[in-house]
Amino acid sequence: MTSIVPALDTRTAEGSALQAVLLDMDGTLVDTEGFWWQAEVGVFAELGHVLGEEHREVVIGGPMTRSASYLIQATGADITLPELSLRLNNRFEELVDGHVPLMPGASRLLLELAAHRVPTALVSASHRRIIDRVLTSIGQEHFALTIAGDEVERTKPHPDPYLLAAAGLGADPARCAVVEDTATGVAAAEAAGCRVVAVPSVVPIEPAAGRTVVRSLEDVDLPFLRSIVTGTP
C-alpha cells in the first residue's frame, strides 16, 4: 500500500511556472551513498563474498529489492532477499548511528524553498524506516509529503514515485523540477515527464534534453529551478 506522510502544511508558489520541487534523498540531500556501500560490502564479507567496485556502479541509486537481488545473483550468496534487505537496512542504521551528514548546499536550498512556500516532496527508493531515520537530520518540516521505495508497487527507475509525488502536491509533472544524483533516479524523473537537475554523486551523468547537470547543490537555487522549468536562462 502506498503511504504518503504529510508535513504540517501544503505550500504554494504563486506567480511561478514552477509548481513543485521533488528531491531524492541518498546522495542528493544527504551524503549516504558511501554508508550504503559500506553496508553492502560488510554484509557480503560476512557471507564470504568480496564486492568489487564494478558492483557499486550497478547498485547505486537503486531500490533495495533490485540492488539486493542483483548482489545475490552476482555473488551466489546463500541468503534470501528478505533476509538480505533486513541485514542491509540494519547495518546502514548502525553505520549512520543517528547522524547523517547533509550534502553541501542542501540546508540552504531547503530553507530557500520553504521561505518562498514552494511545494516540496522527498522521493526516495529507500525504505520508510530509513527515510524516517534520516529525516531527523534533514527535517520533516521541509516536505509537504515523503514517498518511500517500499510504499509503491514500482519504484525507481519507473516513473511511479514521481508521478505520485506530483499528484500529491497537485502539480503538473512537466512543471516540477526534480533533483537527483543517479542515473536510476534521473530515468524515473524523466519518464514521469519532469525537468531534471542531476548532481552526480558517484557515477557521472551526461547532460541531455530536459536535463541539466551541475557539480553541487551549491549551484542550485530557486531562480535556477524556475529557469529549467520555463526554459529561460
CB-based burial label for 82 (10 Å; 0-12, 13-18, 19+)? exposed
| pLDDT value of position 12 | 44
Regarding predicted confidence, which is higher, 49 or 98?
49
Q: Work out the number of other CB atoms within 10 angstroms of the CB of residue 99.
A: 7
Choose from 20-29, 58-67, 95-104, 204-213 the range with maximum mean pLDDT.
20-29
Q: Work out the number of other CB atoms within 10 angstroms of the CB of residue 172.
A: 15
Q: Determine which of 64-68, 89-93, 166-170 has the lowest per-residue pLDDT on average.
A: 64-68
| pLDDT value of position 92 | 86
Regarding predicted confidence, which is higher, 59 or 1?
59
| Residue 158 predicted with pLDDT over 90 | yes
| Residue 187 predicted with pLDDT over 50 | yes
Choose from 9-18, 130-139, 160-169 the range with maximum mean pLDDT.
160-169
- How many percent of the chain have pLDDT more than 70? 91
Name the residue among 115, 107, 94, 123 with its Cα closest to residue 26: 123
Q: Which residues of 191-206 are buried (b: 16+ CB within 10 A; e: fewer)?
A: bbbbbbbbbbbeeebe
Q: What is the pTM of this model?
A: 0.82
Tell me what the mean pLDDT of segment 65-85 comes to: 91
| pLDDT value of position 116 | 97
Average pLDDT, the chain: 89
What confidence tier does 233 reach under pLDDT thresholds 50, 70, 90? Answer: low
What confidence tier does 11 reach under pLDDT thresholds 50, 70, 90? Answer: very low
